[in-house]
Amino acid sequence: MRAEHADAPSAPPVAGGPGRGLFVTFEGGDGVGKTTQAALLEEWLTQQGRTVVRTREPGGTEVGVLIRDIVLHHRGEVSPRAEALLYAADRAHHIDTLVRPALARGEIVIQDRYLDSSVAYQGAGRVLGSDEVRRLSLWATQGLLPDVTVLLDLDPAAARTRLDADDKPFDRLEAEKEHFHARVRDEFLSLAAAEPVRYLVLDAARPPAELAAAVRGRVEPLLA
């Protein structure tokens, strides 16, 4: 069973059977390839006959879709503290209604962004304080932490080039200045350094197939 919040890292769990699901999250700045790698991991696990729930934050539930529209696409100003609270509200509902039930059924949850994104984007990017934002998310989720967090690390300038190539309008966070994204990246790396048991840090500039193989290598030993 996945670890709840604790100061010291615990041994990796083993998935399989009721109450022994596996919780894998993908983190990193905008444009690093999280969605691609989450899809590739889902495909591999499904081919093995595993039951997989792939989701995202914000927006993994009907309530979350509404919150996602506010925090990412609202044209007016959203104060930083209100933004952090909106993300926490989405997270509380998402974990309670979708993630925990799936894990209790023994399923594998693959999630694009979780509480580490709030710590990086609102705690460091918005300068609200990483510890405060982390405590808020831990309260919202009753302390649930992933079994594995894959951090796809990429220089923000390179990530911006990828986003430009997509030829889509930037959302509120993607549109932030370079120094904002630099703070976000630094915070992600600090989080990974503080929890090496949970985190797998990969250079997102590597070919997608190489990254997918590295992710599979980390996840496979945790499967029963």
Residue 166 lies in a domain: yes
Closest CA to 72 of 57, 54, 62, 61: 57
Q: Determine the 3-state secondary structure of 174 from DSSP.
A: coil
The reply to whether 112 falls in a domain is yes
Q: What's the pLDDT score for residue 14? A: 43
CATH number at residue 161: 3.40.50.300
Sequential pLDDT tens for the chain (224 residues): 455 544 433 333 444 444 579 999 999 988 899 999 999 999 999 999 999 999 999 989 998 899 888 877 777 788 999 989 999 999 999 999 999 999 999 999 999 999 999 999 999 989 999 999 999 999 999 999 999 999 999 998 887 777 666 666 655 555 556 888 899 999 999 999 999 999 999 999 999 999 999 999 999 999 97
Domain encompassing residue 49: 22-222
Please tell me the distance from the alpha carbon of residue 148 to that of residue 218, in angstroms, as a whole number: 8
Nearest to 111 by CA among 170, 51, 9, 37: 37
Answer whether residue 17 is part of any domain. Answer: no
DSSP state of 116: H
Q: Is residue 3 part of a domain?
A: no
Number of domains in the chain: 1
**Residue whose token pair is 């930083």:** 80
- Domain contains 96: yes
Domain-embedded: residue 11: no
C-alpha atoms less than 13 angstroms from C-alpha of 116 in its C-beta half-sphere: 30
Task: Name the β-bridge partners of 56.
Answer: 112
Q: What is the pLDDT of residue 15?
A: 47
56 DSSP assignment: E
